[in-house]
A = this chain, B = another copy of it.
């Protein structure tokens, strides 16, 4: 599966509250994607589908910004404090770039 192909094997501990929030958002997005499938099956008007797609993209970006912020606040900050921030910052910049293009 796509999410198993290029991972680092690393893990992160997230606060339970953050995790629940994140999972709820992702479940809502999953529901929205299913909603779009139904719209396609029902031959709904393309512009209506496109508006829904934009809404999902915006929700995905929010999830991404959230993860990015948590990552910077914990992993990157921790690495810098431990004196080995450079590779962490390099990785952050790569993910910034990829994310801002997508």
Complex CA gap A90/B98 in Å reads 20
Copies of this chain present: 4
Complex CA gap A33/B32 in Å reads 11
Q: Say yes or no: A45-B11 contact (C-beta < 8 A), given A27-B37, A33-B29.
A: yes
Task: Give the number of residues in A that approach B within 8 Å (Cβ atoms).
Answer: 78
- Is A45 a contact of B7 with CB atoms below 8 Å? yes
Grouping DSSP codes into helix (H, G, I), strand (E, B) and loop, the A interface class, with mixed when no group exceeds half, is helix
Complex CA gap A9/B47 in Å reads 11
With A80-B85, A99-B100 known, 15 other A-B pairs at CB within 8 A are A2-B35, A3-B38, A3-B39, A9-B45, A10-B44, A12-B45, A23-B41, A30-B33, A46-B71, A47-B91, A50-B68, A54-B64, A57-B57, A57-B99, A77-B89
Chain B residues with Cβ below 8 Å from A41 are 19, 23
A7 to chain B: closest residue by CB: B48
Q: Please give the residue numbers on chain A whose beta carbons come within 8 Å of chain B beta carbons, in ascending order.
A: 1-4, 6-14, 19, 22-23, 26-27, 29-58, 60-61, 63-65, 67-73, 75, 77, 80-81, 85-86, 89, 91-93, 95-102
